[in-house]
Amino acid sequence: MIDFLKQPWPWYVAGPLIGLTVPTLLILGNKSFGISSSLRHICAACIPANITFFKYDWKKETWNLFFVFGIFLGGVIAINLLPNPNPVVVNPKLTAELAGYGITNYQDLIPVDVMSWSSLLTLRGFVLMVVGGFLVGFGTQYAGGCTSGHSIMGLSNLQWPSLVATICFMVGGLIMANVILPYILAL
């Protein structure tokens, strides 16, 4: 059993398990699945500012903070108690493509050449980490939720705005990965 937990789970096991969170949350208390709203709840609880955006009854959403903490705790448990001893296999075509951009230094699948404190001080690292992070946060707020909220919860509830948001997420991701990212990596 432990060996099964240590290996990557196939999509036909992991996907339905993730999908079952939607009806479970709806049955247990008419709750919506989503992760991005938890940052707003944390800010509303911890920042004693007079900002209208954070003035709401965040205590009603405490369950969401426990849910996100459970995701974090599950990751910690998986890394420390259930590590996979086999190296992660990366497609050689991806490795060759990244090498073409000068990205050859990896640490646990993280390209240190663009994702490290030292690379943050470069134009490429700043654009990827700071500007990219801002755009993700802005897009999440503008779309009224993140990919997990819209694509898992919203589509399950047949919500038209979630279908539009999911299509935009996918189109934006394809454009970013295939058109914009090569220019950023070439910086």
pLDDT score at 171: 95
Taking a C-beta distance cutoff of 8 angstroms, is the pair 88, 79 a contact?
Answer: no
Per-residue pLDDT of the chain (187 residues; tens, 9 = 90+): 677 777 778 889 888 888 888 888 888 888 887 788 888 888 888 887 788 888 888 888 888 889 889 989 998 988 888 887 777 778 889 888 888 888 888 776 778 887 888 888 888 889 888 998 898 888 888 888 888 888 888 888 888 999 999 999 999 999 998 899 888 888 7
- Global pTM value: 0.71
For the CA atoms of 9, 6, 38, 44, the dihedral, rounded to the nearest 10 degrees, stands at: 180
pLDDT score at 30: 86
pLDDT score at 108: 66
79: three-class secondary structure by DSSP: helix
Tokens of 159: 């919500």
Q: Cα separation of 73 and 79, whole Å?
A: 10
106 backbone dihedrals φ, ψ, rounded to 5°: -120, 145
Q: Cα separation of 100 and 62, whole Å?
A: 46
* Cβ burial 138-169 (10 Å sphere, 16+ → b, else e): ebbeebebbbebbbbbbeeeeeeebeebbeeb
